[in-house]
Amino acid sequence: MFPSDPFPRTFLRTFLLSLCALSFAGFFSAGATERTDLNGAWRFRIDAQGEGEKLQWYKSVPDGTEIVRVPHTWNIGKYEDHEGLAWYFRTVVISPLRPQEHVELHFAATFYLSHVWVNGMEAGVHEGGHTQYFFDITKLLKPGSNLIAVELDNRPTETSIPGLALKLKPGKNIWYDWWHYGGIVRDVWLASNEGSLVRRQQIRSQISADGAASVHDAVYLENASPKEQKLTVAMRLFSPDGKRLAGKTQTVSVAAEAKKSIEFEFSIEKPQLWDLDHANLYSIRATLSDARGQLLDEREDTFGNRTLEIRNRHLFLNGQQIRLAGMTRHEESPWEGLAETAGTIKHDYDDLKILHTTLTRPVHYPQHEQILEYADRHGILLIPEIPIWQFTGAQLSNPRVIALAKQMLQEMIEQAANHPSIFAWSVCNESDMSTEGGRAYFHELKAWVNKLDPTRFVTFADNDISYGADPKKEAANDADFIMMNQYYGAWNGPEDGLVKMLEHAGSSFPDKMFIISEFGTPGVFASNSVEADKLRVHILKSQLDLFEKYDWIAGAIFWCYQDYKSHRNLWPGLKSGYVDHGVVDEYRQRRPSFYAWEERTSPVMMKPKWKYSNWYQTEGFEVSIGRKPITQLPSYPLKHYSLRWELRDGEGKLLHDGRFELADLEQMQTLSADWTADPSVHHAALRLSLINPRGETETERTLRFLFPIADGQEIDEMTIPGVNP
Give the tens place of pLDDT for each residue, 136-174. 999 999 999 999 999 999 999 999 999 999 999 999 999
Hey, which residues does 118 pair with through a beta bridge? 121, 148
Domain parsing of the chain, residue ranges = 6-190, 196-293, 322-600, 604-706
Into which CATH architecture does domain 604-706 fall?
Sandwich (2.60)
Percent of the chain residues topping a pLDDT of 70: 95
Average pLDDT over every residue of 507-526 = 97
84-138 pLDDT per residue, tens: 999 999 999 999 999 899 999 999 999 999 999 999 999 999 999 999 999 999 9
**Distance (Å, rounded) from C-alpha 75 to C-alpha 93?**
30
Q: pLDDT tier at 724 (50, 70, 90 boundaries)?
A: low
Average pLDDT over every residue of 567-582 = 93
Residue with the bigger pLDDT between 7 and 374: it is: 374
Hey, which residues does 289 pair with through a beta bridge? 232, 295
Pick the CATH number of 196-293 from 3.90.1150.10, 3.20.20.70, 2.60.40.10, 2.60.40.420: 2.60.40.10
Please give the backbone phi and psi of residue 428, each rounded to the nearest 5 degrees, phi first. Answer: 180, 175
Equal CATH topology for 6-190 and 604-706:
no
CA 8 vs CA 5, 91, 140: distances in Å: 6, 9, 22
pTM (2 d.p.): 0.93
Pick the CATH number of 6-190 from 3.40.640.10, 2.30.30.100, 2.60.120.260, 1.10.10.10: 2.60.120.260
| Residue 94 near residue 36, CB atoms below 8 Å | no
Please give the backbone phi and psi of residue 506, each rounded to the nearest 5 degrees, phi first. Answer: -65, -40
Tell me, what's the pLDDT at 26?
Answer: 38
Q: pLDDT tier at 560 (50, 70, 90 boundaries)?
A: very high
Taking alpha carbons only, the member of 168, 131, 137 closest to residue 36 is 137
- Helical axes 436-452 vs 399-416, angle rounded to 10°: 30
H helices within 476-571, ranges in order?
Answer: 498-508, 529-547
| Residue 485 near residue 515, CB atoms below 8 Å | no
Average pLDDT over every residue of 501-529 = 97
235-261 pLDDT per residue, tens: 999 999 999 999 999 999 999 999 999
Exposed/middle/buried for residue 216 (C-beta within 10 Å: 0-12, 13-18, 19+) = middle
**Distance (Å, rounded) from C-alpha 341 to C-alpha 353?**
19
Domain 322-600 is in which class?
alpha beta
